[in-house]
Homo-oligomer: A and B are copies of this chain.
Amino acid sequence: MTTTPTDFQHWASLHQQRIEAQLQAVLPSAEVAPQRLHQAMRYAALGGGKRVRPLLAFAAGEITRADAGRVALAGAAVELIHAYSLVHDDLPCMDDDMLRRGKPACHVEFDEATALLVGDALHSLAFHLLADYRLADDLSVQLEMVKLLATAAGSRGMAGGQAIDLAAVGANLTLPELEFMHIHKTGALIRAAMLLGARCGTALATAELGQLDHFAKYIGLAFQVVDDVLDTEATTATLGKTAGKDEKNNKPTYVSIMGVTEAKRLAGELRRDALAALDGFGERALRLRQLADFIVLRKF
């Protein structure tokens, strides 16, 4: 493998721009009625974020030689679900956070009712994308993609993870309980991003899908462990969201359960497990391997 960090930076930057352009194109114009809602949807979904989920979709799409135009749409759908969840999460009745991606949260910049509707409308728009464009040669595969995203976003996926998170405030979770929460709260959508990206291309054998699933599980958990470490160690300025809020909100984290040193060790271990799951894919998994490093070694 002859690749350099510079090469990955270039790839990531190109694909981040591609997703930004895709979101720009599919979000209704702020000139179209209801203007304020559309303006707020664009505020919440554009111009920020590392776009980790779409990058994972592109990287998984390289394994199945997927058309990048299709993956951009599938990745944008996943990112819209992610963006809606952030808007709803930041609301006063949830995490009550004022800051997101270095800007005032949507309900601060607009108002609570608008933010609620922004989340709802981004949520619908994600499914609109998955149905409005041809994303797979076989339409039954495309319907499976709709189902996959609905499952990942729903009560046995992301929304369910949020509910478990709510119930965990102030509780003493065990490590398996914390893992169960994160597999739902962030893991489900990360897994969906990868599988949707892969589904845009040639069919994978069941064993290969299983390997991707393992990678998604490990990298999703690693992502969360690193998030918890950063929430402790980084500043609000570098994070672009409020630092130290898990402790303030009395939320159980990997750091609160095992301490920073052990959490960092766990992140490294999860990275090794994630990389091992890609062994059978050879060069096709180059970008996934680099993304694993990006996710675990990131400083913000």
* Contacts from A to B (Cβ < 8 Å): 28, 32-34, 36-38, 41, 84-85, 88, 91, 93-94, 111-114, 116-117, 119-121, 123-125, 127-128, 130-132, 139-140, 142-144, 146-147, 149-151, 153-157, 159-160, 162-164, 166-167
Contacts of A121 in B (CB 8 A): 154-155, 159-160
Shortest A70–chain B CB gap in Å is 14
Number of identical protomers: 2
Specify which of B33, B94, B143 is in contact with A113 (CB 8 Å cutoff): B94
Q: Does the CB pair B125–A127 fall under 8 Å?
A: no
Specify which of B124, B130, B140, B155 is in contact with A155 (CB 8 Å cutoff): B124
Q: Does the CB pair A160–B120 fall under 8 Å?
A: no
Contacts of A156 in B (CB 8 A): 28, 32
Q: Does the CB pair B146–A130 fall under 8 Å?
A: yes
Decide if the interface of chain A is mainly helix, strand, loop or mixed. Answer: helix
Contacts of A41 in B (CB 8 A): 155
Q: Does the CB pair A131–B147 fall under 8 Å?
A: yes
Contacts of A144 in B (CB 8 A): 131
